[in-house]
Copies of this chain bind each other. A is one copy, B any other.
Amino acid sequence: MHNHVCDTTTSYPAGMKWTKQRKDVYHVLAHAHEPMSAVQIYQQIEKEESAGYALSTIYRILTAFEEKGYVSKSTFMGDGTVVYEWNKGEHTHYALCLSCHKRVALPSCPFEHVHLESDAGDFTVTGHKLELYGYCKDCEKQKLS
């Protein structure tokens, strides 16, 4: 089992109070299987412990975490929902199904062995975001039948 369960000590932002609210948000995000919206995080916490936090607090925490570089914020197309993801070392890209709107994580980054830098001209590239669109296995099947 993992042991990142509310242990107050390790690996936390200097100059950040480690409140229960923040622990909970961290906890949810660290265990999330995919990027979550502020509201989803809020509801998840409510479901688990009816903590009665203010939604605005969740937003403020997410903003704080983002500024410290602990989470990254992004917005997927289709629905333009804003979602947050805990920054683990690696980054993940997603394929979005145009039919059922399922989100599938790519096994690897297509740029691992490609030099993006050369394409950007006089621009210093420090990061990138990639989304694929198309049809997932299931929806593709349905289209054929």
Interface residues of A (CB under 8 A from B): 73-75, 77, 80, 82, 95, 97-98, 104, 106-108, 110-111, 114, 116, 119-137, 140
Given known contacts A80-B82, A114-B114, A126-B98, A120 and B132 CB-to-CB distance under 8 angstroms? yes
Number of copies: 2
Q: Is B121 a contact partner of A110 (Cβ separation < 8 A)? A: no
Q: What residues of chain B lie closer than 8 Å to A95, measured between beta carbons?
A: 120, 123, 125
Chain A at the B interface: SS class: strand
Q: Is the Cβ of B127 less than 8 Å from the Cβ of A134?
A: yes
Which residues of chain B come closer than 8 Å to A126, judged between CB atoms?
98, 133-135
A74 contact set on B, CB distance < 8 A: 77
Q: In whole angstroms, how far apart are the Cα atoms of A98 and B140 in the complex? A: 38
Are B107 and A123 interface neighbours, CB within 8 A? no
Contact B122 A137 (CB under 8 A): yes
